Amino acid sequence: MTLQEERHVLVVYPHPDDEAFSVAGTVRMYRNMAVPVTYACLTLGEMGRNLGNPPFATRESLPDIRRQELVAACAAMGIEDLRMMGLRDKTIEFEDDEKMVKLVTNLIEELNPSVIYTFFPGFAVHPDHEATARAVIEAVRRMPKEARPRILAVAFANDTVEKIGEAPIVVDIRSVKDDKIKALQAHASQTAWMMAETEKRIDDGEVLSDSWLNVEKFYPFTFED
Amino acid sequence: MKEVNTQELQELLNSFANKDVFIHLETTNGSYAAHYDEKFFNAGAFIRNVKLRYELGKIVDDAPHRVGLKLEHGWVYAQGITHFKLDTEGRLLMAGLDYTGKLAVALEISETPFAY
Ligand SMILES: [Zn+2]
């Protein structure tokens, strides 16, 4: 499908690299259409496990490395409005729920987005992903129906297709595949091993058909009322 | 961080004994462990910036190492420590990195609080 024009796109994810895996191609396409995009990244992935052996970072130096990676990934995606929200990795579900809703509400009131990209609650695997999705959905639910932005959500739990079916929205990102690769590569502390593996498969002539480098898939989140 | 040198690390542990220090202690399998293996029972624990004072800190020379801190009323220990570093802010950072370079355990000791 082709992307429609948007007033403003808001992307809300908890970890640097969530956006690269989930929406990098889609965001790059919006930016190529001159649609404004804001990325609110809630943490700096402070609790990332991959420090290397021999290690390239410590538990205490990792956040700085990931901040730089996030800035570089945003450059690859063309995101000019990056908000680092200052929460700590793996603690979002323990924050006050109202505070989290308020955080999202404030962003919506400031930016007036026509669509929000986030995770799909119940199918987002990581507790931070789930807590982020819950906050976004609750913030939007509280808005008057006619004022609500659309929510396009990423789901990747093992039981996703079984429970909610195939994703109805499939964005063809082949035209910006190189930019998605650059965004993923920018998060080297998280993706270096995986990217090397992928390059090897491409070198070996394996065709990654219908893979995560060709399409990005989303589920619209709809409300009962 | 470099691989544990027992003698050097023991001296560093001694240098923080009998002082008020802030502790970071973490064990983890990663939040995706049960996603990749649904039979995996994922458990871990995390404390950060808990202030305490230990009278004896000891590293056992059996790699991967165990580090224990004896407190007036209790204990702190970490199992699986492979690497350590005294960072530029004078904090003792210890970590257990598995064979793929992923952190499995961390124990850190500082006289000043760690960032948030
Ligand atoms: Zn994530």
Per-domain boundaries in chain B: 2-110
Indicate whether B71 pLDDT > 60. yes
Q: How many residues in total does chain A contain?
A: 225
Judge whether A68 lies within some domain.
yes
- What integer pLDDT is reported at residue A172 of this predicted model? 95
CB contact under 8 A, B26 and A47: yes
CATH number assigned to the domain comprising residue A151: 3.40.50.10320
pLDDT confidence band for A36 (50 / 70 / 90): very high
> Coil, strand, or helix at residue B45?
strand
Q: Return all residues near B47 (Cβ < 8 A) that are at least 6 apart.
A: B23, B24, B25, B26
Residue A128 near chain B (CB below 8 Å): yes
Percent of chain A with pLDDT over 70: 94
- Is there a domain that residue A225 lies in? no
Chain B residue closest in CA terms to A56: B1
B74: closest CA of chain A, how far (Å): 25
Residue in A182, A187, A180 with CA at minimum distance from that of residue A211? A180
User: Is residue B88 within 8 angstroms of chain A, CB to CB?
Assistant: no
* A158 or A210, higher pLDDT: A158
Using the Cβ of B27 and the Cβ atoms of chain A, whether some distance falls under 8 Å is answered with no
A149: left (phi over 0), alpha (psi -120 to 50) or beta: beta
Using CA atoms, how far apart are residues B102 and B90, in angstroms rounded to an integer? 24
CATH 2.70.180.10 fits B2-110, yes or no: yes
Cβ distance A135 to A87 under 8 Å?
no
- Please determine, for the modelled complex, whether the ipTM score is greater than 0.95: no
Judge whether residue A194 has pLDDT over 90: no
Q: pTM of the full predicted structure?
A: 0.93
Class of residue B34 by CB neighbours under 10 A (exposed 0-12, middle 13-18, buried 19+)? middle
Give the count of Cβ contacts less than 8 A between chain A and B: 66
Residue type, A37: V
Q: Which secondary structure element, helix H or strand E, spans residue A5, and what is its range?
A: none
Domain holding A38, by residue range, is 9-220
Nearest Cα to A161, choosing from A103, A217, A95, A87? A217
> How far is ligand 1, taken at its centre, from the CA of residue A131, in Å?
11
Task: Provide the percentage of residues in chain B whose pLDDT is more than 90.
Answer: 91
Preceding peptide of A16 cis, ω within 30°: no
A39 and A83 Cβ atoms separated by less than 8 Å: yes
**pLDDT value at position B26?**
98
Contacts of A47 in chain B (CB under 8 A): 26, 28, 46
C-alpha to C-alpha distance for B91 and B22, rounded to whole angstroms:
10
Identify the pLDDT of residue A100. 98
B92 and chain A in contact, CB less than 8 A: no
Mean pLDDT of chain B: 96
- Provide the number of structural domains found in chain A: 1
Would residue A1 count as lying in a domain?
no
- Mean pLDDT across A64-71: 98
Largest CA distance in chain A: 54
Beta-strand relationship, B83-86 and B21-27: unpaired
Residue A53 and residue B95: Cβ atoms within 8 Å?
Answer: no
When pLDDT is averaged across residues B61-67 and rounded to a whole number, the result is: 95
Q: Is residue A3 part of a domain?
A: no
The model's confidence at residue A208, banded by pLDDT at 50, 70 and 90, is low
| Pair of tokens at residue A82 | 């990056």
pLDDT digits (tens, 9 = 90+) for A89-100: 999 999 999 999
Tokens of A164: 């909610």
Does A2 fall in a domain? Answer: no
Q: How far is the CA of A187 from the centre of ligand 1 (A)?
A: 12
Q: How far apart are CA A121 and CA A14, in angstroms?
A: 13
